[in-house]
Amino acid sequence: MGRAGSAGAPSRGGRPSTGEAVRTVLAGVRERGWQHLLELVLVSVLWFLCLLATISVAAVPTILHKGGGILVAAAFGLLPLLFVGPGTVGLFTAVDAIWSGENNGPFDALRSFFRGFRRRYLRSVGLSAFWALIFVSVYANVAEDRRLLPAFLLLGVAILLLYLVLFFLMVNMYLIPMLAVSDLSLWRALRLAVWEAVANPIFTILMLLGPLVVLIAGLVVRALFPLLLGGGIAMFGAAALRFAPLRHPGLPELPVFDAPLDDDADPGGPAG
């Protein structure tokens, strides 16, 4: 598999425009999403089952209130860290295999999911713990200080928090696929993901619109939520890492299909 098969597909030697990269991603998501719909549903359901571990957090206040002990409450509070991060990385591993042409059926998708879950387990748990620590710290500070701030400052804090949430999503658009497909350390992958998010703000935000549409569809039609949300998010995230207009030299080289992704591609090359 080479990188030079599809029109507008980025390569390390060139810098395609944001529009070319977005068109390539949309064409690929449409084509491969339809061809591998069953695989996407299977890995989405597995990912949704991993997300169910977050229900345990709701039991923490009850445990503390009834005197269940700090250790028991901490165990329930930390349970999501053991499943959500690894499940998300497993999801992206399976979807990246779809992009690279390695998943040829449902069993291949399942094997890819569990392979990513197992091989990247410690790094993905570390990533979950890192983001959870930041989230708890920010939440604790905002909840404590908001009563002391005047209204106009609260508006500024709200805008800042919205920006931080957006930047968090932009960074993870590259970070999680990077952990799924490479052996980079967590900290090096985080630095590269931040670099990509800062270097490609428009492209990254446009890539986030895809998962947002899938999320809205899942909220409107509840049955679609566990069936398509994970696969929809991962399809755009895996594509963003492959087709970002500006790619850092330290990013892993990722194969793509040699077949063109859109009707404008010229399989014969430039006309003579």
Higher pLDDT, 13 or 165: 165
- Look at residue 255 and tell me whether its pLDDT is greater than 80: no
Total tally of structural domains belonging to the chain: 1
pLDDT tens column, 85-94: 999 999 999 9
Whether residue 257 is contained in a domain is answered as: no
Q: Let me know the angle formed at the C-alpha of 201 by 143 and 86, rounded to the nearest 5 degrees.
A: 65
Could you tell me the residue range of the domain that residue 159 belongs to?
A: 18-243
Alpha-carbon torsion angle 29, 35, 37, 43, nearest 10: -80
pLDDT tens column, 39-82: 999 999 999 999 888 887 777 777 766 666 677 777 777 888 89
Residue in the structure block whose two tokens are 């804090």: 157
Confidence of residue 14 (pLDDT cuts 50, 70, 90): low
Residue pair 242/203 in contact by the 8 Å Cβ criterion: no
User: Quick one: pLDDT at residue 134?
Assistant: 87
Whether residue 87 is contained in a domain is answered as: yes
Whether residue 99 is contained in a domain is answered as: yes
What DSSP character marks residue 250? T
Whether residue 103 is contained in a domain is answered as: yes
- Look at residue 119 and tell me whether its pLDDT is greater than 50: yes
Whether residue 201 is contained in a domain is answered as: yes
Whether residue 118 is contained in a domain is answered as: yes
Alpha carbons 1 and 148: distance in angstroms, whole number: 59
pTM score, two decimals?
Answer: 0.81
Whether residue 48 is contained in a domain is answered as: yes
pLDDT tens column, 165-207: 999 999 999 999 999 988 888 899 999 999 999 999 999 999 9
- Look at residue 28 and tell me whether its pLDDT is greater than 50: yes
Nearest to 161 by CA among 144, 147, 141: 141
